[in-house]
Structure 1
Amino acid sequence: MINATSPSWPARIGWTAHLVLRIGLAGYLFIYGWSKVFLAQMGRADLGDALVAYGEMSPMGLLWRMVGYSVPFQFLSGVAEVLAAGMLLWRRTAGVGAAVAAFDMYFVFLLNLSYDVPVKQLSLALAIGATIAAIPYLTRFLRALFTAGPIPRGPLPTIATGRPGKIINVVGAVLAGLSVIASGLLFRQAFPAPTEGHPLAGVYRVVDDTAKPAARLVDDQRWQQAAFSQWVVGGKSRWSIRLANGDLRTGSFRDAGPNLIKVDLKPAQRGPVRTTEPATTTFELRWELRPDGRLRLVGGGQDLTLESDPEFRFLFDRDFSWDPRPPVNR
């Protein structure tokens, strides 16, 4: 065991490297952790995605929507990473923090492998780094798990002793606490929370269209469905349309005046690799919500009447119930 009261120079150098490793791990964990706590990484269940079919999703898109749908799951996943980061920065909790960080990162690595998320190498590196940070405490962990006898005191990272050591200990504890608070505040400022409640939010199907159908269904470019997000981020919201020939278009919209929105649309990505960015079409739509709940859209060559489509927003309307009720697995 390393003597915490008078460590040798090799031990001091080792604990210094250990501290640098813990700071680096904590930095990444703060970024990914706070992004989940504030629901910024995966977002939230979005009506603008209501028209995306299961087979059209990429593996990463499936994971993002699955995690984004569950606010508690995403939030608690972030809390686990922020908690591990904070414990890594304080030497008295560094061992537990390293163990929690290793568990978090191996789980993230498994998800990245399973759902083809591009940061596989980074998550593996963080998992290995956390494992290395936990090695000095391995004997204590094993005794706690597999023996019934007393657990000896674990190693205490010590870079300096005497008065300098006491100063480092106090400053380290204060900086660890401040890092948790400051990183959270900075992240919230950089990524403000989305606002909810755009009047267009919903999923609609076209019930009246002034355009004539094409001779062949495969060539029919008329709109069949439209979905407008309930979330507004930076003045923009997501939306998508499904054409009569089955093609999907996705994009964003923003308010451009009273009952007027400016929209952009582009084809959904096709194939496993995107070689060129799809062309984006931008135009304005004037909208009117009628007393009967129907929506009229005029602009961009369209003159449509739409009504709410409950089938394609079933996922969003399914409420939580603690009481037993018939399962709906569809």
Structure 2
Amino acid sequence: MSFPSDTPVIWMGKLLIKRDYHIEYWPGGSGDTTYNYLQVCCLIVWSLFITIIWSLTDRNRKSYDRLCYWTMVIFRYGLAVTLIGYGMAKVVKTQFPFPSLARLDQTIGDMSPMGLAWTYMGYSTGYNLFTGFAECFCGVLLFFQRTRLLGALMSITVTLNIVMMNLYYDIPVKLFSAHLLLLSCFIAWPDLQRLINFFVLNKPVPAASHWRPVFKTKWKRIIFVGLKYAFLAFYLYTTITGGIEMDRMYVRKTTPPLYGIYEVKSVTCDTAGFSNSLINNFKFWQKVYFDKDYQMVARKKDDMQYYDMKIDSTKHLLTYWSSQTDSVMMHYSIPSTDTLYLNGKINGDSIHVVLKRKDPNDFALMSRGFHWINEYPYNR
């Protein structure tokens, strides 16, 4: 669905791509669609036009110290809020959750570069905490004028790493992360000469002398500082409490009784049963994963099917459903530690499924753990 504001983007597509070009994919959260790249082109053209007009109409002005200061405030706060938001998502591991059972059982060659990166990041809680706190620390430094430059330099380091990861693991947030990197550079730009003198030319560096508002009356200073710290306290409170709530809802997942990886060994049914689409679906299942938070995943040859499930351990009943299918209820039994039977009737047709369980801890990634001492490299 297009809006009037989309018209320049559509025109840009016809100009840069082809005359009869039309937008097929509208922005959906990743930020790297063709629409988004065309939108950036429109913003560049619009910015150049405004800059030329402004420069011509206001060419006698000697400086823009006040405008620069308040622009920096907006950019600093915007970048800080973004970094802290992403940092908290790593601290509570909502951005990079621990690999699912289906992911653990997937071969590296079948992973996408983004899937490999998500698995790499999601495996280590410690590394998530390190990167998350680094982003949060950068954000906190950017909130204050005295630590602005330190925050900007640290932010350049952090966001550059993010940009490289997005580029070389094909993660579709390239435009957004590049904007964060450019914003970090822009905030540090007024101190470029001082940085060159200190790090390159080995010259003494005087204190920064950028313009900042000075309030002659005490009550104005109190209001100005009070509003700033009230905003910071409110933002940090909502961010921390929100992170705790996200941790409760999405990270600390419950483990179902049948948790594990199961290989489908056999599927038997009534003669007419396989004409039933719900039953016929079992014929193509290769593995079934009963994962945390009561999610069931069925692996077929070419794709995965995801279901929500409910398990009644008293009656030994398994119920699963998805938006594409009706709910299916089956009785289960566990004759041995590595075998699971599913029996049930679907639309009057009986079905019996035999599954063999694999312990998730058999994966080296799950069982290896951390070792201070390694007599030899454990690289498998």
TM-score computed with the length of structure 1 as normaliser: 0.76
Instruction: Spell out, residue by residue over 1:150-189, the C-alpha distance to the aligned partner (whole angstroms, 9 max, x if none).
Output: 5432346623333334653454356435533431212333
Farther off after superposition, 90-99 or 289-298: 289-298
Query: CA contact under 8 A between 1:227 and 1:240: conserved in structure 2?
Result: yes
Query: CA contact under 8 A between 1:202 and 1:228: conserved in structure 2?
Result: yes
Query: CA contact under 8 A between 1:252 and 1:265: conserved in structure 2?
Result: yes
Farther off after superposition, 195-204 or 146-155: 146-155
Query: Which of 86, 89, 105 matches 1:32?
Result: 86
Q: Could you tell me which runs of 5 or more consecutive residues in structure 2 were left unpaired when the two chains were aligned.
A: 1-61, 275-280
CA distance in 2, matches of 1:144, 1:264: 64
The question of 1:263 aligning with 2:325 is answered no
Work out which structure has the larger RCO, using CA pairs closer than 8 Å and 6 or more positions apart in sequence. 1
How far did 1:20 drift? Answer: 0.7
In structure 2, relative to structure 1, the CA distance for the partners of 1:187 and 1:220 (3 Å cut) is closer
CA distance in 1, matches of 2:242, 2:112: 32
Instruction: Spell out, residue by residue over 1:208-249, the C-alpha distance to the aligned partner (whole angstroms, 9 max, x if none).
Output: 54469x9xxxx99354433222x32xxx43x43345xx4442
User: Which amino acid in the other structure matches residue 306 of structure 2?
Assistant: G
Query: Which of 247, 262, 275 matches 1:204?
Result: 262
Paired position in structure 2 for 1:127: 181
CA distance in 2, matches of 1:139, 1:181: 37
Paired position in structure 2 for 1:254: 309
In structure 2, relative to structure 1, the CA distance for the partners of 1:92 and 1:289 (3 Å cut) is farther
Paired position in structure 2 for 1:5: none
In structure 2, relative to structure 1, the CA distance for the partners of 1:173 and 1:325 (3 Å cut) is same
More helix, by proportion: 2
CA distance in 2, matches of 1:176, 1:141: 29
Name the % identity: 24
Paired position in structure 1 for 2:232: 176
After superposing on structure 2, the runs of 4+ consecutive aligned residues of structure 1 that deviate more than 6 Å are none
The question of 1:288 aligning with 2:333 is answered yes
CA distance in 2, matches of 1:306, 1:19: 60
Query: CA contact under 8 A between 1:84 and 1:101: conserved in structure 2?
Result: yes
Q: Could you tell me which runs of 5 or more consecutive residues in structure 1 were left unpaired when the two chains were aligned.
A: 1-7, 267-278
Paired position in structure 2 for 1:78: 132
User: Which amino acid in the other structure matches residue 204 of structure 1?
Assistant: Y
The alignment partner of 1:221 has SS state of helix
Paired position in structure 2 for 1:308: 358
Query: CA contact under 8 A between 1:205 and 1:309: conserved in structure 2?
Result: no
In structure 2, relative to structure 1, the CA distance for the partners of 1:310 and 1:190 (3 Å cut) is closer
The alignment partner of 1:91 has SS state of coil
How far did 1:72 drift? Answer: 1.3
In structure 2, relative to structure 1, the CA distance for the partners of 1:92 and 1:261 (3 Å cut) is farther
The question of 1:19 aligning with 2:69 is answered no
Paired position in structure 2 for 1:153: 207
TM-score computed with the length of structure 2 as normaliser: 0.67
The question of 1:228 aligning with 2:278 is answered no
In structure 2, relative to structure 1, the CA distance for the partners of 1:144 and 1:288 (3 Å cut) is farther
Provide the aligned C-alpha RMSD in A. Answer: 3.3
The alignment partner of 1:241 has SS state of strand
